[in-house]
A and B are shown apart, each in its own frame.
Chain A
Amino acid sequence: MLSRKQREMYTAFAFIAPYLIGYLLFHFFPIFLSFIISVTDVRYISRIGDASFVGLRNYLELFSDTEFTNSVKNSLLFSIMYVPGVMLVGLVLAVLINKKLYARNLLRGMLFMPYVSNMVAVSVVWSLLMDPTGGVINNVLRSIGIDNPPMWLMSTKTSLVSVVIIAVWQGVGLQFVTFLAAFQNVPTELKEAAYIDGTNGFQNFIHVTLPCIRSQTFLLMITSVITSLKNYTIVQVLTEGGPGTSTTILPLNIVNTAFTSFRMGYACAQTVVMFVIVMAITVLQWSGRKRFED
């Protein structure tokens, strides 16, 4: 006869088992496998038996591979533009919608809507809006007197910026709603005390609201950085990395290396580099957060 405690333990294991097996197989094992494959020269899965151990050769090759270094550069540029953009727009929208308004739910819904929309469908529409000759955006720009409007997604100079603009439009719902929720936790007594001390709305925001939402802001920043680094779909559907390689970011380069050049081992080495970048940024931000909050 099992004791109640033992019975509870076996029940727990039975409840967790399906999840744990799936988790290990589909999340943990692939991470582990990336490291292993990254030191081999696996090309096709069907001939995985022919693959051999190559040590750090894949990693050494990365340094002289301009396609790889270019994709890392593009990824970092993407993040440097995307993260401040999405945080700032999200903050401004949250401040505006937090004021006394009619139909607030409707307005919030309108601002949040792109976040739930299908990126492929949306990219088809944006490509049309940003069309250099017949698109609505350039027509508007020409009608207000700009004779040489940008080529947007079609030019190597503006393609990455254009993708970032669309990415911010699509992704800002997350930042917007998180800031809005954070505002509700700012104690009203603090704000009122500041008003009595004679501060105006803007000073109040800088000195009372912002410090109160510090920890949410940091978490949001980490999420935004990770999102921006892993973002594959938005670039793939908008530009497929082009024109040229002007928007080929790291995840795109990894997929191309694995499924177009058929170099799985080399692609996994790049995957490992991506883990390292994500980890490094996360750790850096966490230590920065501690220093900031002390």
Chain B
Amino acid sequence: MIERYAKPKKIILTVIMLFLGIANIFPFIFMLSSSFKPLNQIFIYPIKLIPETFITENYKALFDDQYMFIRWYANTIVMVVTIILLKLFIVSITAYAFSKLHFPGREVLFLFLLSSMMIPPDAIIVPKYIIFKWLGITDTMWAVVLPSIFDVFFVFLLRQFFMSIPDSLSEAALIDGANHFMIYRKVVLPLSGPAITTMIMFTFIWAWNDYMNPYIFITSPEKQMISVGMKMFQINNSVDYGLLMAAATLVLVPVMIVFMFAQRYFVEGIATTGIKS
């Protein structure tokens, strides 16, 4: 079938797709370009993507004390790292038990977990708020962290992955006197690099981009996360478009950097599992 695709055809198709790709990321290009422009040049048409007057004042202003941008950034980093560390441990050890250990009711319990995947977590925000009030964790980072840790989807994904690791490896370790925690730690985890990385990448993106949970559960501006902070920032500076574009760029940069280096994990993660959204 290869000869059906002559070289010129391949070049033309690539060019067409390149146009489509650039059109698709045009909002990002526009944002980046506008963030370096003075306000009066943003609305000029036809647009000049290379700023005529190149300024960095918009970025400098964001680091000014009158905005809490740095604070929100730091809050979000702490929140994301906490989620990743806790989720990594709790989800993987649970997946280990569901894949490598035998106990009565294993399949029934697993089906019970899977069945609740149909109800999206966003739908139960009101009862969750009530529970968090009882627990006294509203207006703390934990209201955003705790519900994200006990993720059903990644228990499912890691279980599938762990099951593909041959049992003979762990049985050999058991005979050598290792306990299950050592096997989990020294045999199964080191062999699961790609699956673990996929989980970390998606967890990072979801946590960083989470808007609804901090919006509902966190009320103090100084404890807020970057997504909601960005929204508050937009409301307070609704006409300073250069500043807004610089802020939006700063919100997107960490995610884009992670995506560029780990595109493979996102694409393959979705491709092999049809990941939830």
Q: Which residues on A are within 8 Å of B, measured CB to CB?
A: 5, 8-9, 11-13, 15-16, 18-20, 22-23, 25-31, 33-34, 37, 42, 45-46, 48, 93, 96-97, 99-103, 105-122, 124-126, 128-129, 134, 136, 139, 143, 169, 171, 173-174, 177-178, 180-181, 191-192, 195, 216, 219-220, 223, 226-227, 229-230, 232-233, 236-237, 251, 254-255, 258-259, 264, 267-268, 271, 274-275, 278-279, 282
Contact = CB atoms under 8 A, between A and B. Distances in A.
Contacts of A11: 97, 101, 179-181
Given A116-B209, A118-B208, 18 more contacts: A8-B180, A26-B128, A27-B150, A113-B256, A116-B255, A121-B249, A121-B252, A125-B27, A139-B47, A174-B277, A180-B271, A192-B1, A195-B1, A223-B277, A237-B231, A251-B123, A255-B125, A255-B126
Contacts of A13: 103
A121 B248 contact: yes
Contacts of A101: 10, 13-14, 17
Contact of A100 (B5, B22, B226): B5
A121 to B, nearest CB: 4
B55 interface: no
A58 to B, nearest CB: 12
Contact of B122 (A96, A97, A117, A251): A251
Contacts of A33: 127, 130-131
10 contacts: A8-B180, A19-B91, A23-B152, A106-B21, A115-B266, A125-B30, A125-B31, A255-B216, A259-B129, A268-B126
Contacts of A143: 45-46
Nearest to B22: A110
A278 B230 contact: no
The secondary-structure label for the interface of chain A is helix
Given A124-B244, A169-B24, A216-B274, A102 B10 contact: yes
B205 A264 contact: no
B80 interface: no
Given A13-B103, A15-B93, A113-B259, A177 B267 contact: yes
From B25, B120, B227, residue with most partner A Cβ within 10 Å: B120
